[in-house]
Structure 1
Amino acid sequence: MISFFSKKPLLKELIPQESVDFHSHILYGLDDGAKTKEDTVFLIDSLKEIGFSKLITTPHTTPMVWDNTKEAILSQYEKIKTELPELSADVGLHTASEYLMDESFLQRLNEERLLTLKEDYVLVEMSYINPPMELFDILFQLANKGYRIVLAHPERYNFYHNDFNVYKRLKEVGCLFQLNLLSSTGYYGDSVAQTADKLLKERMYDFAATDAHHAKHIKAFGMKVAIKNHNQIPELLENNSVFK
C-alpha cells in the first residue's frame, strides 16, 4: 500500500511556474468536464493559480458517450474565446481532443485530420475496462499517418498493472506517456499510484498534465504526493514546453 506517512510535498508545490497543461476538460458543455461558463472561468483561474500559464484543453471524443465532432469542438472553442477574450488570451488557450481508441477510431482516422495538441502530437486514451483488440494496429496506423502518439494516463489502465511488459511494448512502438498528476497523490487509488511510481522509476513518462475536470480535481492539488519518485514531476512538466 502507498504510504502517506513519510514527509512528502503537496502536489501543487511541484508545479513549476509558467508550466504548460495540455490535457484538461475546461471547455464547458462538451463532456464530463466544465458544465457552465462559470465552471470554465473557475478552472482556468485555478490552473493559473497553481502555476500553469498556457492551457491546451482536450474535450473527449468518445463515440456514443461524448460523440463530439471536430467541428463542434472548434465551434465551442471559438465561442468561449469570444465570451472570455482576456482570460483566453492570458493562458494562450488552445484546443485539441482526447480521442478514445475503439473499433470506430480507424474510420475517423482515415476520414479526417485529427485535432492535435501541436503540429503532429495527438492525445489518445483507451477504455478503462479493456484495451481495443486492434490496439497495435491503431497505433501503427497513427504513426503511419505521421502522428506522434501521446497516450493519456497509462497508469490508470488497471488491466496492465500486472503485465508491465505491455508498457514496454507501448513505448517500443512509439507511444509517449503522459502522467495524470493526481495519480501521484493516490486520488485514483493505491494501485494506480503504485503503477505511476513504477513507471516514474523506470523513467517511462515523457510528460505530465492535470486532466482537470472540476473543482474536486483542483482541490486535490492540495494533497500530498503519495509516491517515492515524485522528484521527476517538475522535469516532466518542463518537457511540456514542447507544446508552447
Structure 2
Amino acid sequence: MFGFFKKKRIPEFDFSALGVDMHSHILPGIDDGAPTVKESILLIKRLQKLGFQKLIATPHIMADYYRNTPDTINRALDLLREELLKQKIDIPVEAAAEYYLDETFENKINAGNLMTMGKDYILFELSYINYPNNIKDIIQKLNDKGLKPILAHPERYPYLYGSIENFYKIKEYGCYFQLNTISLTGYYGKATQKIAEDLVENMMIDFIGSDMHHLKHADALEKSLFVPALAQLLDDGALQNKLLC
C-alpha cells in the first residue's frame, strides 16, 4: 500500500513586520522559563524562524518567589549573549522585567531602578486569583514617575471577564495592554481565547508578546499564524511593538 503524506501548511505571513517580541522568559535559569543556556538558544532560534528581529526578555520579579534584581537579570543576559556570539546567532537580545503587583512593587517604584524597555515602558502582571484594589493607584504612580505601564496578558485574569468595561476602566487609568499571542489559539482555554478575541475586536491591544517559556509555547506561537484574529491585529497597524526597536 502507498502511504499518504499530509502536506504541512505554510502561513501567509510571519512576525517580521512586528519586529520585536517584548515579553519572553528566555534568560537561562532565573525564573520558570528556559532552565539552561542550551534551552534559551533553542527558543531564540524558533523566534527567529518566526520572523522576530529583536527580543526583549522579561523575567519574573516576585517578592517571595522570583527575587530577581537588575543584577541577576543582567548576569543571565550576559551569559546568553556570550553564547549567541559563540554560535554566531545574529539577533539583538535585551532585558527588562515582568513585575508582579505584590506588596513590594510600590516600594520598588519609589526606589527607582526599575527595568524598563524602549522609552520607559514597564511591564507588570497581576494575580490570577484576586483583583488588586490598588491597581489604579499603582498605575497613577507609574505615570507620575514618567513611566508607561503595560499590563501583561489582561485576557488571563478571570475576575475581569464579566464585562468589557472592566478592561476599559483599567485602560482609562493610563495603562497599555499586551496580549499573549498564543491566547488566540486557545492555548490557555476557550474562555481566555474568547476574551482575547473580544479585546482584539474592540481595538484594545497595544502590544503582543510570545510570553515564551518553553518549546510548547513556540509550537503554539507558530500555530497562531493561522488565526484570523492575529491577522486582523497585524493588519490594523495599531500595535506598538516597533516602538521598542
Q: Same fold judged by TM-score > 0.5?
A: yes
| 1:143-194 superposed Cα distances (whole Å, 9 cap, x missing partner) | 1101001111110111100132121111111111111000000000011010
| 1:164 counterpart = 2:164 | yes
What runs of 5+ residues in structure 1 fail to find an aligned partner? 1-9
**Deviation at residue 87 of structure 1 after TM alignment:** 6.0
- The aligned runs of 1:36-51 (5 Å cut-off) are 36-51=36-51
Verify the 8 A CA contact 2:210 2:221 in the aligned structure 1. Answer: no
Larger relative contact order, structure 1 or 2 (CA cutoff 8 Å, min sep 6): 1
- The aligned runs of 1:196-207 (5 Å cut-off) are 196-207=196-207
Output the aligned Cα RMSD. 2.2
Task: Provide the identity percentage.
Answer: 37
Verify the 8 A CA contact 1:55 1:94 in the aligned structure 2. Answer: yes
Measured in 2, the distance between the counterparts of 1:225 and 1:53 equals 17
Structure 2 CA distance for partners of 1:13 and 1:221, relative to 1, 3 Å: farther
Question: What residue number does 1:3 align with?
Answer: none
What runs of 5+ residues in structure 2 fail to find an aligned partner? 1-8
| 1:11-62 superposed Cα distances (whole Å, 9 cap, x missing partner) | 9655332521010000011100000111011011110001111101100101
Runs of 4+ in 1 over 4 A off after TM superposition: 10-14, 86-89, 224-228, 235-238
Number of equivalent positions:
235
Q: Which has the larger radius of gyration?
A: 2
Structure 2 CA distance for partners of 1:33 and 1:194, relative to 1, 3 Å: same
| 1:223 partner SS | helix
**Deviation at residue 209 of structure 1 after TM alignment:** 1.0
| 1:71 partner SS | helix
TM-score calculated relative to the size of structure 2:
0.88
TM-score calculated relative to the size of structure 1:
0.89
- The aligned runs of 1:217-236 (5 Å cut-off) are 217-223=217-223, 229-235=229-235
- The aligned runs of 1:27-176 (5 Å cut-off) are 27-85=27-85, 90-176=90-176
**Deviation at residue 227 of structure 1 after TM alignment:** 6.5
Measured in 1, the distance between the counterparts of 2:54 and 2:151 equals 20
**Deviation at residue 130 of structure 1 after TM alignment:** 1.5
Question: What residue number does 1:6 align with?
Answer: none
